[in-house]
Structure 1
Amino acid sequence: MLLHFADANKNFNESFFIIFGVPFDGTSSYRHGSKFAPDEIRKASYNLESYVMEHKISLSELPIHDMGDIGTLDEFGNVEDVIDTVYSTMQSILPNKFPIMIGGEHSITIGAAKALKKLNAGIIFIDAHGDFRDEYLGNKYSHACTARRAYDILNGKIISIGVRSASQEEVEDAKDLNYEWIDSYEFQRLGWKRTIKKAMEILDVQKVYLSIDIDGIDPAYAPGTGTPEFFGLSPMDVKNIINFLAPNLIGADITEVCPPYDNGNTSILAARLVQEIIAAKWNTMEDKFK
């Protein structure tokens, strides 16, 4: 029996929110194990209430479907094949439904970027790392290159929030390409609201895809991740950002949860963020999906 996210009980055709997993960590460069995250996040979701208190809504009443994983641990080959599979899956969901992808390593977001290109949409990354390398260990599609590939695909319509680790090469390339990120230190000075307003002004788009690398959140809250970095955002910061962006959101993902290094907190945080994305988006929709 396939495991599904809690309350994702509707079929594809009658659902607006479409969850799917991508159990892949083939380019991970430090801790491996994010390929186990989709089902661990699903398992954790059953320990959360269906009723999302702030938004005064029960997820059991919403049109949510979990497609399961779009491949298995044994089926996935190289990262380019995975990205192509994500791309084709996203195309089958957008623009009429709302995809929520759970990884897996962050390279999978490159597939989402390819699907967003024709929609004139941008990506906001929450991430501890620049991920702006042109290649890493000879691979242009490494999880360390996610923002750079998305920048190329979307003609610069991306921005990262919470960065606190980047190579000198990434910093220099970002400057040369006029690519801005809002690092964790500026985030702390500005606060979440001024930060996200600044990000939206820089992006200058109406349609936004939110990509949450769980390591963007401080490891005090999310220890189970592949490459932890201190001085990060809090879960409440991310929740506030989700609420602010909800009217503009057209999809989202959560990546880099690494269950072998988790104490349970990280998977359940990821599950709760999925709930928050769904509830916040639904409550901003004037024309409900029917």
Structure 2
Amino acid sequence: MGSNGQKEDHASELAGLFSLRKLPDAQSDYASARYVVLGVPFDNTSSYRRGSRFAPDAIRNAYWNLESFEFHYGVNIPDAMIYDAGNLFESEDVEEVIDSVETAVRYVSADGKVPILLGGEHSITVGALRNFRDCGMIIVDAHSDFRDSYMGSRFNHACVTRRALELLGPGRIVSVGTRSVSREEFESEEWKDVRFITADEVRERGIRDVIGEIRSMGFRRVYFSIDMDGIDPAYAPGVGTPEPFGLTDRDVRELIGAFAGITVAFDIVEITPVYDNGNTSVLAAKFIQEFIGQRERKASKKP
């Protein structure tokens, strides 16, 4: 039911799940929006530097530094019609949070809108992905996140790729930027079911060659997840589990642009603002503009 009592959309249900805070370019109401921003302040399974629960608003604050007009693509971002639902109310229970994310994203996608999630840690991705079991998945991540269980939980942020495999099946997940893998993960029988592309491989082959390989997998719809630790700490120092020798910001920019047109949901996770110099949050904000700008440009070119 809509807020006026008519069965039009899920605006009233979303209002019951989220507090109100706004991305500056989010100037649309829910009914008119094509993109819906959902903050998920959760970091209870973080295994090194906690604090990603502060990231959704850190990204929003950094976003104020950006121009609303994306001149590279000729897109005025507010014209893309963005609605910011605010932050999901906080909980310390990972399964409760994942279920809440699943519900919120189900409402948004059922209303024909593209959800943009601001984490929070990477465990939140599982809830969103439950709504897109027919999609391919592109992950930017330093870590394979392929443990079956970690610190007593199957929904730990170190298990997100394994849970994604269970949802999507073999041959439908590409993780780009990998450079930290446990022996347990590497020797698991399921390792071959995910295409892990290391940061070294990206540097040797070039990101455009990697994009060509992903395109050859034939995905028609994509869930796109960015763990900011996939990017080298020189560009993104404020993350929960930093790992040297990573991707460049431009690598990720090109990856976003290549698949923006078929991306049905997008998340950015694992920023830890208390360890940041400001660069990580503003880079995440810029990635949001890149995603929307490139997606809108591609849409405008359709005959």
TM-score (ref. length: structure 2) = 0.90
In structure 2, how many angstroms separate the alpha carbons of the residues matched to 1:80 and 1:206?
30
Q: 1:240 aligns with which of 239, 254, 262?
A: 254
Please give the residue correspondences for 1:25-64 in structure 2 after superposition, counting only pairs within 5 Å: 25-64=43-82
In structure 1, the partner of 2:142 is: 128
What is the distance in 2 between the residues matched to 1:137 and 1:60? 42
Provide the rounded CA distance (Å) in 1 between the counterparts of 2:263 and 2:208. Answer: 16
Cα deviations by residue, 1:149-176 (Å, 9 ceiling, x for unpaired): 0011111321100000010111111665
Report SS of the residue matched to 1:18: strand
Q: 1:205, CA displacement in angstroms?
A: 2.1
Supply the distance in 2 between the matched residues of 1:51 and 1:254 (Cα, whole angstroms). 21
TM-score (structure 1 length as normaliser): 0.93
Distance 1:83-1:175 versus aligned 2 partners, 3 A rule = closer
Distance 1:30 1:126, change over 3 A: same
- Alpha-carbon distance in 1 for matches of 2:191, 2:66: 45
Amino acid at match of 1:12: Y
Aligned equivalent of 2:182 = 167
Structure 1 match to 2:222: 208
Letter in 2 for 1:53: F
Distance 1:211 1:176, change over 3 A: closer
Contact 1:132 1:174 in 2 (8 A): no
**Structure 2: gaps of 5 or more residues:** 1-18
Structure 2 residue 116 is matched with structure 1 residue 100:
yes
CA distance in 2, matches of 1:85, 1:116: 16
Contact 1:22 1:70 in 2 (8 A): yes
Q: Is the 8 A contact 1:85 1:111 kept in 2?
A: yes
Q: Deviations over 1:177-212 (max 9, x none)?
A: 53321111111111111112212334x321001100
**Kept after mapping to 2: 8 A contact 1:174/1:180:** no
Q: Is 2:161 the counterpart of 1:147? A: yes
Q: In percent, how many aligned pairs have the same letter?
A: 43
**For the Cα contact (< 8 Å) 2:38–2:88, is it kept in 1?**
yes
CA–CA separation in structure 1 for the residues paired with 2:20 and 2:191: 47
Name the counterpart of 2:207: 192
- On the 8 A contact 1:121/1:209 being kept in 2, the answer is yes
Amino acid at match of 1:140: R
1:102-135 CA-to-partner distances (Å, cap 9, x unmatched) read 0000000011121111xx1111000000000000
Which letter maps to 2:25?
D
Amino acid of the structure 2 residue aligned with 1:171: F
Query: Whole-Å Cα distance in 2 between the matches of residues 53 and 219 of structure 1?
Result: 28
Residue in 1 that maps onto 2:97:
82
2:40 counterpart residue number: 22
Pick aligned residue for 1:9 from 20, 23, 27: 27
Q: How many residues align?
A: 282
**For structure 1, which runs of at least 5 residues remain unmatched after alignment?**
none
Asked if the contact 2:175/2:194 (under 8 Å) is kept, the reply is no
Show the counterpart of 1:229: 243
